Chain A
Amino acid sequence: MIERKADPKSINPRELGLKVGLEIHQQLDTKHKLFCNCPTILAREGEVEDTFTRQLRPTRSEFGEVDVAALFEWRKGRMYYYHAPRSHSCLVEADEEPPHEINREAIVIGLAVAKALGSRPVDEIYIMRKIVIDGSNTTGFQRTAIIALGGAIKLPSGKKVGIETIAVEEDAARKMKDEGKYTHYNIDRLGVPLIEISTSPDIETPEEAYETALTIGQLLRLTGKVKRGIGTIRQDLNVSIRGGVKTEIKGVQRLDLLPKIVLYEALRQYRLLQIRDELRKRGVTENELRDAARIVDVTSVFKNTQSKIIKRVVSRGGKVLAVRLRKFHGLLGVEVQPGRRFGTELADYARFWGGVGGLFHSDELPGYGITSEELREVYKLTGAVEGEDAVVIVADKELNARKALEAVVERAVQALYGVPKETRAAQDDGTTRYMRPQPGAARMYPETDVPPVEVTEDMLAEAEKIKPVHPLEKIRQLTEKYGLSSDLANQLLRSPYLGLFEELASKYSDKVQATYIASILTNILRSLQREGVPIDNLTEEHIESIVSALANNVISKDAVPDTIKYLAENPTATIEDAVKALGLERMSLDEVERLVEEAIEHNIRAVKERGLAALSKVMGYVMPKVRGRIDGKTVAEIAKRKILEILEREEEKG
């Protein structure tokens, strides 16, 4: 029997034949959106907006294929509620005006990145429509175009990861919330140009996946033409192990989660292969499994049940259906990822295909108000053998419950063969959940409203000009121009703040040392994050306001960490609020002088006897009283001066 717990430490992904391909999406910092003249910045809250609601109908291919995920949403009467801020969207985003010609600036940036990666541009760029029916595109498709093919990215380790394609495409609308049958989206982000870089499946470890994403991200930032900040870069993954199946994982927002997600997916596929082997050992065949898996109405068993869920469903006219899974006893409780059992995978299928809330399975029963007597009855009615078979129970409207259990049986059959082909969604704890089956053929057709664009010599020459410099060259520039250590320069390069640093350094370096600005953006932020400060809440405006306050002597260096912490925890607050709340108004020099005099008075004997050697005593008196309202260096200078004055006076007297 298999270990119940799934322990990530128990596997070596490289030995399992891990293969990972990445799709990196990064917003470009162009003047206008990809297919209209709207700006590429997001709307502020409370801006004047128009709203409208729409439905999206699944379209069919010539073979009658429809996208099942889209179909289910549509059948449920899913509507999309769009918020259209007037300064950040127009009729094009509202799907009320055909797209304009594609933004040339975005293509040139894409070509510049292609050059840096050794990709070869296509000769003519064709814009395609990729069907996406979750409402995130008002049109029901995303406009996307391949601009270059091939190339490679070299990791710091020296390993080369191949590039398959580079595409320029439109970003989707921002999902705001789900509310009943309405999903709310803000269309300000819709149409912002993205570059999509797809790598070959050359990545062999979770760490390499991280390094690849980081190195590509760094290269993109070095163009100086990409958006900065949270949510401007997103990753999708394709993961497989030997004997497993290429699984798509969508929506990885946080880079630091990437290695964990890869590791957990390798683990999941490994565990599914273990379950397959166990089933083979138990000698169950597909025919046997299917024949035994009759869906049975077991509502009568739960006449007097204590299970609140079942009671509620039955009182509303629902049914309790159950199915027998031949020789699955014990396997539904086996974890495939930490905290996710094989039963959880079955439940995902039940939810997606049956639209039910969830299921009960025998490996977790008795429990949830279901007694062992009831369970025994269900075993009996489904013909299941206790200790050999598993049973799955769903309580819902009869049609839904039936569809849910049919999907459970299909998923169980796939377990006999290992890993099913799926698209999965990344979750915050590094695990993934079943999202939908992988779409069959690429659902793409030409965007005939936009003419193709020939890649001209002019464009390539423009691209050459903004081609990102080599990271080593950038490090040399940073050390020379700003006097950064090469270590600090390297840290900046790997952080998302390189662009912000250059901007702040050029604005404030006459008043605040560039090295200090760099360490705010690297060491200080990192150590605050380690302490659990939510630094993701910080905007570039927050950080600039702190540097600016430093430059204008509003706050002292000593107060910087506390100020950052305050703004991260109160993102709607301003620097002025922070200064007030933390009592950080910089002390006037007069005040400091008075405090120093008081300190000298207090320690007058030591000062008179030991002169400057008494400085630490004076400082020890003053510093706790100024608490970051002035920096120690200034206090020390004043104290030194005052002590010397006293000594001089003493000498004159003496």
Chain B
Amino acid sequence: MSEDPLPGYTGVAREVLSRAGASIGDKVRIVTSDGRVFVGVLMPRYSIKPKPIVVLKLDNGYNIGIRVDESTVVELVKTREAILKEAAAGAPAVIPLLEERPAQKPRERVMVVGTGGTIASKIEYETGAVKPALTAEDLVEAVPEIATIARIEADVLMNILSENMKPEYWVKIVDAIARHIDEGYDGIIVAHGTDTMTYTASAIAFAFRGLPVPIAFVGSQRSSDRPSSDAAFNLIAATLYAAKSDYAEVAIVMHGETGDTYALANRAVKTRKMHTSRRDAFQPINDKPLMRIYPFEKRLEPLQPPLHRRGEQELRVENGFEEKVALVKYYPGMDGEIIDFLVDRGYKGIVLEGTGLGHVGEWLVEPIRRAVDNGVIVVMTSQTLFGRINMNVYNTGRKLIAAGVIPGDDMLPEVAFVKLSWVLAHTSSLDEAKRLMRTNLAGEINPRLTVDLYPRWLQ
């Protein structure tokens, strides 16, 4: 498939541009029908709404939109290739970000597995396009600090928007990580979009039944093309966790507060993206952070012990996820047909996100009983996120238990969903599946919820 020379352009705008043989990045001269003259570089139109408007980048760097019609005259002044060639010829020598090289090469080897998002990138000022850094060299050039911590290598596995992530990709990521651990890397970093990071990181945590090294999931809330990006800070923190910590756990390593002071490594299976946009969006729920990381000082401060330390376990992988699992949020008046539909479509597991201690409308008890009778595993979690499921306190809860619902303890609904997907792929026994869902496999169940595990607005 050849690339569209005029992305975003339709109708008359596209017509007058193609007539001139112009494509994105070319310098053009436009004379509008009311006699105005503009010269600039043709830019893509990233607006979704189709309009007869052509976007030019003027010599002063600004973009403007010009309305065109049939009688607008477009002339090609200079091609994109010629412009880029001139610009490259006039560019000054590249200055490295850091001048001093480490006295000796670090010993630890860290593999950065890329799945999507742009943890490091360059801006093409001519078009405004952001190009991801794809190689280890690019990464180190963009964030030279990481090379002072570890020997960095990169494996760009896929380039997927966070929201487009699927269980089938989890399988590929597990395979890649397992291979790299086997190759002897001292730690793994997974660069991932933030929206579904908890799901993927939890999938990794369940699939590695024996994990000898740290795995850090890292992303950014401000894209890396901007000077205020959190990407470099997070990446340095993740490198410290992967290379220097002795926690052989899957952690999400991101900003610990809004400022650039410290990052937190949080246990993947207890961590949730709790804000649409803040740098410190990732917060542990029903748990505390594993460690605080000071990237500028290159210092790790453990806050609670890990499940396993580096090298304690042999590498053991149980890969694979059942895709016929649903996560269903209960709402007042929810129709039992929704449960029936899933059962009839052959779903093997349903995680319910119920109210309070773990309830749904009593009219759902019968559809749920039917699901269980059909061999579907039904797990209850809570919309409150904080706190533990307890279905013995109220009558509906007791009825649900009687219908065969498994209480999900203090598991996050998303994590219970990933866990059930993994469990159902690795056992055909319903009893075994039920037992595993109630067993703490990767720190996803906190048996003791203490008074301090709850955020307060006023001190």
Contact = CB atoms under 8 A, between A and B. Distances in A.
A122 B66 contact: yes
Contacts of A419: none
B229 A126 contact: no
Contacts of B131: 62
A65 interface: yes
A1 interface: no
A125 interface: yes
Contacts of B296: 77
Contacts of B125: 61-62, 441, 443-445
A64 B222 CA distance: 21
Interface in B95-128: 95, 97-99, 122-126, 128
Interface in A411-449: 440-446, 448
B53 A66 contact: no
A124 B98 contact: no
Interface stretch (A92-100, A368-376, A624-632, A635-643): A92-100
A217 interface: no
Given A63-B88, A123-B65, A443-B125, A96 B278 contact: yes
A451 B47 contact: yes
B295 to A, nearest CB: 10
Interface string B70-103: 0000000000000000011001101101110000
A199 interface: no
Contact of B225 (A53, A55, A59, A63): A59
Given A54-B259, A59-B225, A62-B124, A146 B58 contact: yes
A635 B258 CA distance: 66
B59 to A, nearest CB: 8
B260 A165 contact: no
A646 to B, nearest CB: 75
Contacts of A65: 91-92, 94
Contacts of A57: 97, 227, 229, 232
Nearest to B46: A448
B459 interface: no
A131 B229 CA distance: 13
Contact of A140 (B46, B142, B228): B228
A79 interface: yes
Contacts of B58: 146
B64 interface: yes
A390 interface: no
Contact of A53 (B91, B259, B277): B259
B87 A124 contact: no
Contacts of A123: 53, 64-67
Interface in A98-152: 98, 120, 122-126, 128-131, 133, 138-141, 144-146, 149
A89 to B, nearest CB: 12
B128 A445 contact: yes
Interface string B260-296: 1100000000000000111100000000000000001
Interface in B25-43: 36, 43
B65 A122 contact: yes
Given A61-B125, A452-B47, A165 B60 contact: yes
B191 interface: no
Contacts of A70: 227
B258 A96 contact: yes
Nearest to A126: B63
B299 to A, nearest CB: 15
Contacts of A451: 47
Contacts of A141: 226-227
A28 interface: no
B142 A54 contact: no
Contact of B97 (A58, A167, A452): A58
A54 to B, nearest CB: 5
Contact of A52 (B43, B64, B257): B257
B277 A91 contact: yes
A55 B91 CA distance: 27
B233 interface: yes
Nearest to B123: A445
Contacts of B55: 124, 126, 452
A60 interface: yes
Highest count of chain B CB atoms <10 Å: which of A63, A79, A144 = A63
Contact of B65 (A53, A60, A140, A452): A452
Contacts of A125: 64-65
A91 B278 contact: yes
Given A65-B91, A91-B277, A442 B61 contact: yes
A454 interface: yes
B87 A55 contact: no
Contact of A59 (B64, B226, B259): B226
A571 B79 CA distance: 61
Interface string B306-342: 0000000000000000000000000000000000000
B92 A60 contact: no
A145 B61 CA distance: 10
B62 interface: yes
A56 interface: yes
A63 B87 contact: yes
Contacts of B61: 128, 130, 441-444
A458 to B, nearest CB: 16
A98 B277 CA distance: 7
B226 A140 contact: yes
A58 B296 CA distance: 16
A124 B51 contact: yes
Interface string B222-239: 100111110011000000
Contacts of B222: 95
A440 B51 CA distance: 34
A167 B62 contact: yes
A63 B65 contact: no
A586 B351 CA distance: 81
Contacts of A131: 227
A448 B55 CA distance: 14
Contacts of A129: 226
B437 to A, nearest CB: 37
A401 to B, nearest CB: 15
A58 to B, nearest CB: 7
B87 A146 contact: no
B261 A145 contact: no
A71 B258 contact: no
A441 B87 contact: yes
A589 interface: no
A68 interface: yes
Contacts of A60: 122-123, 142
A139 B87 contact: no
Contacts of B64: 122-126, 146, 149
A470 interface: no
Given A146-B64, A441-B87, A55 B277 contact: no
A481 interface: no
A311 B126 CA distance: 51
Nearest to A437: B92
A96 B232 contact: no
Contacts of A97: 276-278
Interface of A: 52-66, 68, 70-71, 74-75, 77, 79, 91, 94-98, 120, 122-126, 128-131, 133, 138-141, 144-146, 149, 165, 167, 440-446, 448, 451-452, 454
Given A62-B125, A122-B64, A129-B226, 4 more contacts: A75-B97, A96-B278, A445-B123, A454-B53
8 contacts: A53-B259, A63-B88, A65-B91, A120-B36, A122-B65, A126-B63, A138-B228, A445-B128
